Chain A
Amino acid sequence: MSELTFIVESTLQALAAGLALGSIYGLMCIGLAVIFGIMRVINFAQGEFLMLGMYFAFYALIGTGLKAWIGGAAGSYIAVLGTAPVFYALGMLIHRTLMTRVSGIKVLGTDDEGQSAQLVLTLGLSLILQNGALIVFGSMPRGMGSPLASAAWEISLGDASSIFINQARGVAGLCAIVVTIALAYFMSRARLGKALRAAADNPVAATYMGIDVARCHRIAFGLGTALTAVAGALVATYYPLQPYVGLEFVVIMYAGVVLGGMDSIKGAFWGGLLIGVVQQMSALVLPTQLQTAAIFVIFLLVVFFRPQGLFGRVSDRA
């Protein structure tokens, strides 16, 4: 094998891995972006929603006998599917009991638009969920043990070279793309999706149209929670889970959302995708410990040259 084929092969290999991983990052970013874009709330507990999504999928697979019944592969994805409605409901409940006290129309026009209270609340929630998970689930890392996690598809490139895609990551990436497209369609075409955007754009005018803004916020919080939890469940099919796992991903989520432009749901996906690709490609030239550093180099470059993010509009809110 020549030097050149080797470089091409390893580049394509990193790109393929980056696209699969990046799509999953994209989905978790969208969860955060839906909440911020519609409610203007920065949710610091988003990493913990991801962690809970992972544990939910784990227990749905292992604890219910699903795995013994139809096997680890199919069972994993049924568990992932179950995450969506449960976390949608959980998100709505958290909104109704907690978020509604510090967000919504009533904080408009107050000194900091409720941001300090939101920070304290979501950060507090994050700590409670983290430590609660430590008490309930223990600190021992677990795995769903999906057989796909240790299998790979081989794509031949001719002349004896080929790239491999981990099956669990590949399927997870595809699922993330499907969910993203479905959400984009919902937000742009469905009546309720348009109402969510209208409530975000101008909550007072939306009220004049008869749109219940508090209900829109509840739906947005439910959706945002469910999207990130589903991404977490997909991650759990190939990645070990422990109570602090949210911290590993929350940085990626924030970077992805800022990269894409804080307002843009579409942008959040591309931001997450970019991070996945950069992370994997940087492994070609940098030691593994510096992968996260590579993400932040790209992050700083984008913020420096395009502070509104890749897809953000220059805000007229200021």
Chain B
Amino acid sequence: MQSGRAMLNIDQLSVNYGGLRALDQVSLRVNEGEFIAVVGPNGAGKSTLFKAISGTVPAASGTIRFDGEDLLALPAALRAHRGIAHVPEGRQVFKSLSVADNLAMGAWPRAPRAAQWARTLERLHGLFPVLAERADQLAGTLSGGEQQMLAIARALAAEPRLLLLDEPSMGLAPRIADLIFDCIQSVHRDEHMTIVLVEQRAVEALSSCDRGFVLESGRVVLEGAQAALLGDERVRQAYLGR
């Protein structure tokens, strides 16, 4: 899948956020079917990158193209309709809606028919069985791990072409985080989903990806295939702790 068609093409993107330059001339290309990891310290601009793709922060300069279309010219709410699903940092489930309604809102761009929706639900419940058990419960009453599963399932409900995952392991017990990583990998492997993962747990992120980017202070300081990054001395010292 390495040499697939370019799906997302970010060129020289700069974003100002709260008076600071959060992203500085970032260029990044994601091919169809790839699993990309973006690692870097806190405040490196990783979440800002996703927000710029989803349209909730404005870009100062540069371009973002998705399937050749200029995303920056598209209102934020329409981007999901093009097949981009964003699992935001901190999960951000709809706390006052039931688990089932959260999933239904994930499918908003598709407006699926009942039979189609039943198939989608079956698939999502197969991935995260706990969501079937808790279908009628308010999402705000779920545990952190369950909310993360719901946030991912909600994004998958849209049957997206590109899945953006922002810190899915944040604040979770290691065991739960491992489970979430397994699910992400199986979605990539079994459904050939194109995934961009932003993660502070660099070991897990880099060991599951095809290619990776290292972001520091809003710049891409390193990029390459998985093996090259894992072998890089700087990456090993700064992120892998060995």
Contacts and interface: CB of A to CB of B under 8 A. Distances in A.
Interface of A: 191, 194-195, 197-198, 201-202, 204-213, 313, 316
A206 B88 CA distance: 11
Given A194-B101, A197-B96, A205-B93, A211 B76 contact: no
Given A209-B80, A209-B154, A204 B92 contact: yes
B78 to A, nearest CB: 7
Contacts of A210: 77-81, 108-109, 158
B128 to A, nearest CB: 18
Contacts, number: 72
Contact of A204 (B56, B81, B97): B56
17 contacts: A191-B104, A191-B108, A194-B105, A197-B96, A197-B97, A198-B105, A201-B96, A201-B97, A202-B95, A206-B94, A206-B105, A207-B55, A207-B77, A207-B80, A211-B77, A212-B75, A213-B77
A212 B75 CA distance: 9
A202 B92 contact: yes
Contacts of A209: 80, 105-106, 108-109, 154, 158
A81 B213 CA distance: 60
Given A197-B97, A204-B88, A211 B55 contact: no
A209 B76 CA distance: 10
Interface string B140-180: 10000000000000110010000000000000000000000
Interface in B64-123: 75-81, 85-86, 88, 92-97, 101, 104-106, 108-109, 111
Given A194-B101, A197-B96, A208-B155, 20 more contacts: A191-B104, A191-B111, A197-B97, A198-B101, A198-B105, A202-B94, A202-B95, A204-B88, A205-B94, A207-B76, A208-B56, A208-B80, A208-B92, A209-B80, A209-B108, A209-B154, A210-B77, A210-B108, A213-B77, A316-B95
Contact of A211 (B86, B101, B105, B140): B105
B194 interface: no
A188 B154 CA distance: 18
Contacts of B109: 209-210
A316 B105 contact: no
A162 B108 CA distance: 54
A56 to B, nearest CB: 33
B14 interface: no
